Chain A
């Protein structure tokens, strides 16, 4: 019984710890240095871009107003949702706590920090959903904590946005296979049914 009491007690203590867990530091987006990097994202063509096909020309460089550049070790470039693509979709919500923030889920590229202007030609991944986007770059320090950021749009996220159309994921071969199996299923059932009715009739006649 003693061991049971110990297990129960440690379990309760563990629960207590969990409950009071909220006391750790949460890194906030509002603490990051704004516009530390000048970012441009130029679509390869006008209109709605096709995922998997069209490209983005992304360039970034240190902004003249930047202050914390001494800490920059890596630059993470990400594709982010514009507000219009976040409506009624809480899994894309913008939160101030960085670990909860879901605005920028799609990684484009990660590169070591370099003072000079950098560029990258990004082909839109085939799993990018339909939506309106902009590009943001996070400057990360040696502890892998975000320190500053820059984005290709303004603070209200209304300018320089581009739209992407996702792939449908459908394939002709898939459609045909689906139809074949469906027909097989219905036919098999009918065959069994008719056969049994026929056998029953024969037996009755006997």
Chain B
């Protein structure tokens, strides 16, 4: 035991510790069974190692995913001692054969099978995206029913517009806080808390009798949009970095579809309730019970069927081992110092933000401008949101393809092209005076703007390695901010006709999209400029290692960033591949953390 205590205070370099221990073992010529303190020490060590190796590409929180410490005794037979940071080769007692999908050493799935509901990975994926989908339904449930609600509550255009702004504003803050909540409670409880604590707000629509009540209820319902963060967190924990891009893209896109489905669902429910005999002013209140029920049901399903981590639930695992995290102040600092964070914040505000604004205004727009029935307007509005099913993953895919040929410059140009064409079609939608043209322009607009959302998250992972989670969350919050802003300026007053508001919003979007030109990476360049000629700064390692202080580098905490930097060399485009000096596979993270 005294020997072991010497180890603890000796070097901070774990591999040296391992080597010493092995030497000792070979000395004694028997397998060393660790005592309690040693077990805790090594489990913490392994935990930290695994965290910084896989802390990832898609991680929203800054804590470790895949807590590894186990109760079982480590029979210390380390294979491949020269593997350095990769402790993948350490064998655990649990065979990975018990998982339905192939997994890596952290038990994260390495394959994505959307039609499977196997525990725990695919189940977590489906529970995650459906929860997010349900929350989108609730948040935008009022939008297709506004023609009825505005008569019941005697609303003015400003009232409606302000309520729309309120409906997306709450999520700015809840999305930022959600990362920490998931760290504390795990993804299951994070999701379930959001679903089941915001269900009462959905039910409380039955109490609303004036504009103020309407606004406050929509504001409170809007908080549940933070399920995006918990959904992405959950998939990041469950899926390996190589496929996390596709998984998160699907989860994000399919969840966003909820904004479209609600435009179809709510008028239909309203119609059925009216047929059952209720008057319109009561029927819409009853209709709100449907999203409320969906939320409660999903909350219960998440709690009963879901699992925080591939190996179990967080509370049980936490009691067994150590969870180590990066310091939040550091992560925050490096996110705030990076100017690209703000550029992405604004860019996402004019892709996702515009998308959410349209979710709020488009049904009423078609109802009023073209004198349609409520459910017809709803159907058309729904097709806007439903395009997300393929449009968003398509954007991410386009970004990846362009990166293969042109590197990061390709990604930036793809983003600019997609978002600008979205803006152009938005202007066209505002100008359209006939229904077929309006629908055509709306569909093109939806594909452009939703693909741009996907493309933005093709770039986000490269902005920072250490603060990826926070930057993803901030970008997401930017979406809500943009939505609130555009609704406030263009759709809350009688200054503009809604049609003019749409066109002006498209123009504003195009102007802000020009900011893409300002995203410059020293190692890869930007839309118009190449990488810096400075020998040192043009290395990926320099960029990503710059987020760690010298002290931290000495502790070896930046190893994960270095590995990421090496993998990200593919962002140089064809040149990198032809160099033959770097792996031609796309970086591990692909397109993670789609919002």
Contacts and interface: CB of A to CB of B under 8 A. Distances in A.
Interface of A: 14-15, 18-19, 21-22, 87-91, 99, 126-127, 129-131, 166-171, 174-175, 177-179, 181-186, 188-189, 192-193, 196-197, 199-200, 203-204
Contacts of A199: 316
A204 B197 contact: no
Contacts of A168: 152, 209, 281
Given A90-B368, A174-B206, A181 B285 contact: no
Contacts of B151: 127, 129, 166
A199 B150 CA distance: 49
Given A90-B494, A170-B206, A182-B203, A192 B150 contact: no
B582 interface: no
B207 A185 contact: no
A169 B292 contact: no
B434 A18 contact: yes
B440 to A, nearest CB: 8
B437 interface: yes
B157 A181 contact: no
B296 A166 contact: no
Nearest to A179: B203
B156 A89 contact: yes
Interface stretch (B47-55, B82-90, B188-196): B188-196
A131 B286 CA distance: 24
Contacts of A89: 150, 156-157
How many residues of B sit at the interface, in one of the four size bands? Answer: 35 or more
A21 to B, nearest CB: 6
A86 to B, nearest CB: 10
Contacts of A196: 313, 315
Contact of A127 (B156, B206, B279, B293): B279
Interface in B60-79: none
Contact of B289 (A87, A177, A183): A177
A203 B285 contact: no
Contact of B282 (A88, A171, A179, A192): A171
B199 A182 contact: yes
Interface centre among B196, B280, B286, B289 (most CB of A within 10 A): B196
Given A88-B157, A89-B156, A181 B281 contact: no
Give the 9 A-B CB pairs with smallest separation, nearest first.
A169-B281, A182-B200, A129-B151, A88-B156, A200-B315, A178-B203, A189-B196, A185-B199, A204-B319
Contacts of A21: 433-434
A169 B279 contact: yes
A181 B192 contact: no
Given A90-B157, A178-B206, A188 B196 contact: yes
7 contacts: A91-B364, A174-B206, A174-B282, A182-B204, A185-B292, A186-B200, A189-B196
Interface string B520-540: 000000000000000000000
Given A177-B203, A181-B199, 7 more contacts: A15-B437, A166-B281, A175-B207, A181-B292, A185-B200, A189-B193, A189-B303
Interface centre among B189, B192, B281 (most CB of A within 10 A): B281
Nearest to B154: A130
A200 B200 CA distance: 29
Contacts of A186: 196-197, 200
Nearest to B205: A178
B299 interface: yes
A175 B288 CA distance: 12
Contact of A185 (B196, B313, B364): B196
Contacts of A87: 156
Contacts of A183: 200
B498 interface: yes
Contacts of B368: 90-91
Interface centre among A15, A18, A169, A199 (most CB of B within 10 A): A169
A174 B285 contact: yes
A130 B209 CA distance: 12
Contacts of A178: 203-204, 206-207, 289
Interface centre among A171, A189, A204 (most CB of B within 10 A): A189
B284 interface: yes
Nearest to B147: A91
B316 A181 contact: no
Contacts of A204: 319
B154 A166 contact: yes
B116 interface: no
Contacts of A91: 147, 150, 364, 368
Nearest to B286: A174
B158 interface: yes
B300 interface: yes
Contact of A167 (B189, B279, B289, B293): B279
Contacts of A15: 437
B207 A170 contact: yes
B497 interface: yes
Nearest to A85: B154
Contacts of A192: 192, 300, 303
